[in-house]
Structure formats: C-alpha cells, structure tokens
Structure 1
Amino acid sequence: MDTMTTTKIVGGVCGSLLIFLLVKWGAEVIYNPGGHGETEAAYMIEVEETATEMASSEGGSADAAPTGPTFDELYAAADLASGEKVFKKCKACHKLEDGANATGPFLYGIVDRGIAAVDFGFSDALTAVGGNWTPAQLNAFLTRPKDFAPGTKMSFSGLKSESDRADVIAYLATIGG
C-alpha cells in the first residue's frame, strides 16, 4: 500500500469522525434534556388564574391576611360539577378506575387512602410523607406538589384557586369513597 492510499484512508476516517462529532453536537443543541442534575418536565400543564389571584400578584400585599372562606368551609360547600370540570386537567396523567395506573397513580378512592399506598412507582419524597390523603393533605399537595413533597415526580405545578381544589377533592371523595 502506498502513501497516497494510506493518506486517503486516514483522511476518510478523520472526516467520518468529524461528521459524527458535528451531528452529536447538533443533536445536543436541538434535544437538550437539561443537565447537571436538574430535571425538566416533559410538558407543563397551564392553570388559569382567577381575577383575585391576578390582582394580588400585581399589587396586593403578600403579607395580608386571607380574606374569605377557609378551606373547610369551601370543602363543605363544594360544587361537584365544578370539581369534575377541574379534574379534566388531571385526566392527562390519572385515571379514576380502581387499579388503572397511567402516567400517575389511579385516583379511585384517594380521599382517606394512605399516601403512596397503592402499587405505583412513587418517589422516595412522597413515600416518606406517610399518613393518609385527608382533604387537608390533598389541599396542601394540590396547592404546589413540589412544596408538599420536595423531590416528587409529579410535574403538575398545582391548582392556585382554593375553591377549585376544594371542588376537585370533593369530587374525588365521591369516586370509590
């Protein structure tokens, strides 16, 4: 084999490696999954803000005492039809049939059931919480899941409206409860 043939072979191998490297870099730019231990949700579920919440975020005082009914009062007067409507946001990941897990665990009989008590791959953060899913616990979780159990796998940002939370929890209490 002469020098020219060897040079062509080495050049071809180096050129191929360069092409593979450029394709890898391009793919990383396009399909960047996050990095350095951070996780990103595959998709975010947007939740509407009520007029009261928008007003308080625009100029209201964060230290002001809550005005209006408590969660217990809202839960006692919950609207099941509204709760069913709010649950449509949850349908992307949860099912209401007993034992029918999806992306998230099934919610049949969730109210007063043990936290992480069904067969599902719960995060260590949620299994460490313990106790039962009381309406108050569900309210705290649905407010902002990542604050309730830091490290939870649930990517949902939470329901901002306390009346929506009360309605959906009351609706879930009627399913298998």
Structure 2
Amino acid sequence: MFDTMTMTKTIGALCGALLIFMLGKWGAEVLYSTGGGGHGDHAQQAYVIEVEGADDHGAEEVEEGPSLEELLAEADVEKGAKSFSKCKACHKLEDGANGTGPHLYGVVNRAVGSVAGFGYSGKLVAVADTWSPENLDGFLTNPKKFAPGTKMSFSGFKKATDRANMIAYLQTIGN
C-alpha cells in the first residue's frame, strides 16, 4: 500500500516543479525589470502613453522657461529625431503613409485635419487652423488638454526643450 519509491518520485516531481516555477519567476523579473532597486524605489519610465479613464496622479507640471522662439533657435534636430521614436508606432514620415495616426510629412504649417484618407476625430479642427510651431507646441505638451476628445492617447512631452527639438525635426521633413 505504501511504496517509498513512489513517494520519493512524487516529492521529487513536486520539488522539481517548484524549482522550475521559481526560476521562471526570476527570469521574468530579470527580463522585464524597469530598473527599480529595492522596496520604495520606483523607476522613471522613458515615456507614458495615457489611456482614457486613467487617473492623472502621475502628471507633472509643465516647466516654465524661455520662449518657444528661443527654444526653436537652439533646438537640436538630432535629439528631435531620437524623440520621434516615441511617435513612430502610430505616425509615419513618408508622404501619404498613414498609420494609426496621420502621416507627419510636411506637418509644420500644414492645415489641421487635411490629410486625405485619414479619419480624424473632428476635435482638432475646432482648436486650430494650421499646425504652426505654436500649435504643435501646445498639442505636444498635452494632446488631450489641447484638443479634448482627440483619439491620440500619447500623454505628451513635458519638457519644452523636447517639444522644440521635435518641432525642429518635423520642420526638416517635407518642408
């Protein structure tokens, strides 16, 4: 009725399964770590894409500083190109190549809502006529605040220098 060999195999199988589970958990933590150290350490994410219905408890205040003209005069196009990596999941730079969002070829000083074949939410046309650097700055600061009801779920660039770099980069695309 009681076989020690069967009992040993059963206990060994349970210990092996537990070991595999613990190694899998450790491996997942290593692969998907955000860099936080110990308890109470919170890693700073590179960017946040807000979702409708999410609360704004992590929103930061927009910094005050030099004017947009001053920032654009000193903008770094290369940094703007790097920052575009946050946008390329939804936007394309090629003329006519729409993604989830409209293409951004020649966007600076282009009429708002004018990309043929793209279904805009209609909220953008109500807040601006053209994508001037000033309007782009307002939109890139906080799209949902600039154009309430917009489909764009990106939370925006909080630093004015990041926005200026992005606008300077976009000015080089098709303009």
TM-score of Structure 1 vs Structure 2, range by shorter chain: 0.5 to 0.7
Query: Deviations along 1:61-102, whole A, 9 cap, x unmatched?
Result: x7xx93x32221011111010000011100010000000000
Amino acid of the structure 1 residue aligned with 2:113: A
Distance 1:171 1:139 in 2: 13
- Find the counterpart in structure 1 of residue 133 from structure 2: 135
Higher helix share: 1
- Find the counterpart in structure 1 of residue 174 from structure 2: 176
- Find the counterpart in structure 2 of residue 106 from structure 1: 103
**Across the two proteins, how many residue pairs are aligned to each other?**
118
State the percentage of identical aligned residues.
Answer: 58
Q: TM-score, normalised by structure 1?
A: 0.63
Amino acid of the structure 2 residue aligned with 1:83: G
* Ranges of 4+ aligned residues in structure 1 off by more than 6 Å: none
Say which of 66, 83, 86 aligns to 2:83: 86
Q: TM-score, normalised by structure 2?
A: 0.63
Gaps of 5+ in 2: 1-44, 49-59
Shift of 1:114: 0.3
Say which of 135, 160, 164 aligns to 2:162: 164
1:127 partner SS: coil
Gaps of 5+ in 1: 1-44, 49-56
Shift of 1:46: 5.5
Partners of 1:95 and 1:102 within 8 A in 2: yes
Partners of 1:93 and 1:103 within 8 A in 2: yes
Query: Deviations along 1:4-61, whole A, 9 cap, x unmatched?
Result: xxxxxxxxxxxxxxxxxxxxxxxxxxxxxxxxxxxxxxxxx9627xxxxxxxx6xxxx
Shift of 1:137: 0.4
